[in-house]
Chain A
Amino acid sequence: MTAIVTVRVQQEDFDTAGEIAALTRGRIDIGAVVSFSGLCRGNDHDRPITALTLEHYPGMADAEIMRHAEEAMARWPLQGLTVIHRFGRITPGENIVLVVTASSHRQAAFEAAEFLMDYLKTNAPFWKREETEDGGSWVEAKGHDDAAAARWTS
């Protein structure tokens, strides 16, 4: 059966269970589904956060995620994958990102999901701005995210 690759960059929320169901519906060749949901936290190092605003580069964001989705499909035996990344203002408890990978066996699904998240954090053109009671500030890129992404090329 054909592998299904879905990439969406959108402002509106998504339904995690519905996305998993859509990926696996009618399939008997999928033995493993891994999903990762990234949610907006209400604090950062004990500092309360009222909201996050995600800015993105329209066009490039979709293309960059699709490029990595295709790389994941080439590297692992996947039956399909879904990546959804939101932009705009997101409040604590809301979804930010979803990665779902489906494979015959669990290892490929786990590894591909981790690969996609590591690359999304360092290469997809999105920037987070935190709103706090004192105003707002841009979230700084973290060295450990770069290290996490680099392990897939070594």
Chain B
Amino acid sequence: MKVKYFAWVRERIGKAEEKIEPPDSVRTVGELIAWLAGRGEGYAYAFEKPKVIRAAIDQTHVQPDAAISGAREIAFFPPMTGG
């Protein structure tokens, strides 16, 4: 699946998007955050406060317990500050 990162999540990880293949044991958005956080220093820094991170599956906001099965694009970002 494709993952996208925005704002300071993108800056801390050092890339805007990538293709990932998490193991089958990673079933929810929250579990995916924990798995990503273990991929290296930048990821650990980006996801150090998982409660702050917002997520969208296929461009729709979701909660951490949302299932990732079938998702084409998952995005992670800080709370929005538009307007």
Q: Which residues of A contact B (CB under 8 A)?
A: 38, 54-57, 59-60, 63, 85, 96-97, 117, 120-129, 138-141, 145
Contact = CB atoms under 8 A, between A and B. Distances in A.
B78 A85 contact: no
Report the 6 A-B pairs with minimum CB-CB distance, sorted nearest first: A126-B82, A141-B79, A121-B83, A127-B7, A60-B59, A120-B83
B81 interface: yes
B8 A138 contact: yes
Contacts of B78: 127, 138, 141
Interface in B27-81: 56, 59-61, 75, 77-81
5 contacts: A55-B6, A57-B56, A60-B75, A126-B81, A128-B82
Given A57-B75, A125-B6, A141 B81 contact: yes
B65 to A, nearest CB: 19
Contact of A121 (B4, B56, B81): B81
Which interface residue of A55, A123, A129, A145 has the most chain B CB atoms within 10 A? A55
Contact of A127 (B59, B61, B82): B82
Contacts of A38: 83
A121 B75 contact: no
A125 B79 contact: no
A123 B79 CA distance: 8
A117 B7 contact: no
B83 A57 contact: no
A57 B82 contact: no
Nearest to A126: B82
Contacts of A140: 79, 81
A146 to B, nearest CB: 8
B81 A57 contact: no
A60 B82 contact: no
Given A60-B56, A63-B59, A123-B61, A129 B7 contact: yes
Contact of B7 (A96, A124, A138): A138
A16 to B, nearest CB: 16
A60 B56 CA distance: 9
